[in-house]
């Protein structure tokens, strides 16, 4: 970890991510106004000592909404990647293990079908059909945010499955895999206990980049009214609220959530670049160390 943080790129990425995450986590402890509290006597106030980021059309504090919006946007972005990684890695590993079988053929064709259409288009279509708001299944109520994470996270699996499949195919050719089979190790034990740890490095790089993409997709869905629903603040929702005021002088309504999205995405992308360089075998061989 110390070696990774010696990279200026990694240090900047980690700093940006840590700042955003810490602010989101401690938001309830900060001396901020209620992000949903309205004040019709304080609408469209520009940044000032009383309201550092100004107020919106309903008199709500933009600073409070930006920080609280980070809780939604970051949580959903991270959750999307976790779901996508679980599905994609599992499918990729088992498809590689079943190389040459009908299961592999069907699984990889399924990956190709989903990968043929951009995730955002899939997300708009699926969420548009299922609808927004909480969903009740029997006695179980699934919140809108959880539904977004599950739906969009599922749509992230093709790229992850394809990478995992290729890496696992190469790894399964090693002699230690045959040795583990002779020892009586089960297929899941070999795939998740032996293969996955040896191919995890490229997947971590991919995951870091995908978090940034997840944040953008959440913001895009919220911007068109298919994501986080008002009055819950989110960065995409704040941009949607500001679209009528872009050319009327209330620059702060779109500026601050836009900066938050930009810094978060840049942070995760910088971390991904640093992880890629850190796990580069040529770099490790040159330094005489192992990243794992």
Place of tokens 């990889």: 108
pLDDT of residue 30: 92
CB distance 73 to 272 below 8 Å: no
pLDDT of residue 104: 95
pLDDT of residue 197: 92
CATH number, domain containing residue 177: 1.10.3720.10
3 domain-assigned: no
How many alpha carbons lie under 13 Å from residue 241 in its C-beta half-sphere? 28
50 domain-assigned: no
pLDDT of residue 274: 84
192 domain-assigned: yes
pLDDT of residue 133: 79
pLDDT of residue 59: 93
19 domain-assigned: no
82 domain-assigned: yes
C-alpha to C-alpha distances, 226 to 129, 229, 242, 258, nearest whole angstrom: 10, 8, 16, 18
36 domain-assigned: no
119 domain-assigned: yes
Residue 83 belongs to domain spanning:
71-287
pLDDT beneath 50: ranges in the chain: 285, 287, 291-292
Local structure of 5: helix, strand or coil? helix
pLDDT of residue 10: 78
Backbone angles phi, psi at 142, to 5 degrees: -100, 120
pLDDT of residue 4: 58
64 domain-assigned: no
Virtual CA dihedral for 101, 104, 106, 107, nearest 10 degrees?
160
């Amino acid at each position: 970890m110390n070696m990774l943080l010696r990279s200026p790129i990694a240090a900047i990425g980690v700093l940006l991510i840590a700042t955003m995450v810490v602010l989101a986590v401690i938001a309830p402890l900060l001396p901020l106004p209620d992000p949903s509290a309205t004040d019709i006597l304080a609408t469209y106030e520009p940044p000032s000592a009383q309201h550092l980021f100004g107020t919106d059309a309903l008199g709500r504090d933009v600073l409070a909404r930006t920080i609280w919006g980070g809780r939604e946007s970051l949580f959903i972005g991270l959750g999307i990647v976790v779901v996508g990684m679980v599905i994609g890695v599992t499918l990729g590993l088992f498809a590689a293990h079943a190389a040459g079988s009908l299961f592999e053929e069907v699984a990889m064709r399924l990956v190709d079908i989903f990968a043929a259409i951009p995730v955002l288009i899939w997300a708009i279509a699926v969420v548009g059909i299922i609808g927004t708001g909480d969903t009740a299944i029997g006695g179980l109520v699934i919140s809108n945010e959880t539904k977004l994470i599950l739906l969009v996270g599922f749509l992230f699996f093709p790229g992850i499955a394809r990478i995992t499949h290729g890496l696992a195919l190469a790894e399964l050719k090693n002699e230690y895999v045959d040795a583990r089979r002779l020892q009586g190790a089960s297929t899941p034990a070999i795939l998740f206990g032996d293969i996955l740890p040896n191919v995890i490095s490229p997947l971590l790089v991919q995951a870091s980049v995908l978090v940034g993409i997840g944040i953008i997709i959440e913001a895009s869905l919220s911007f068109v009214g298919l994501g986080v629903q008002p009055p819950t603040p989110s960065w995409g929702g704040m941009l949607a609220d500001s679209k009528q005021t872009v050319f009327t002088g209330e620059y702060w309504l779109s500026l601050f959530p836009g900066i938050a999205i930009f810094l978060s995405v840049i942070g995760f992308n910088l971390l991904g670049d640093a992880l890629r360089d850190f796990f580069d075998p040529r770099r490790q061989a040159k330094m005489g160390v192992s990243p794992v």
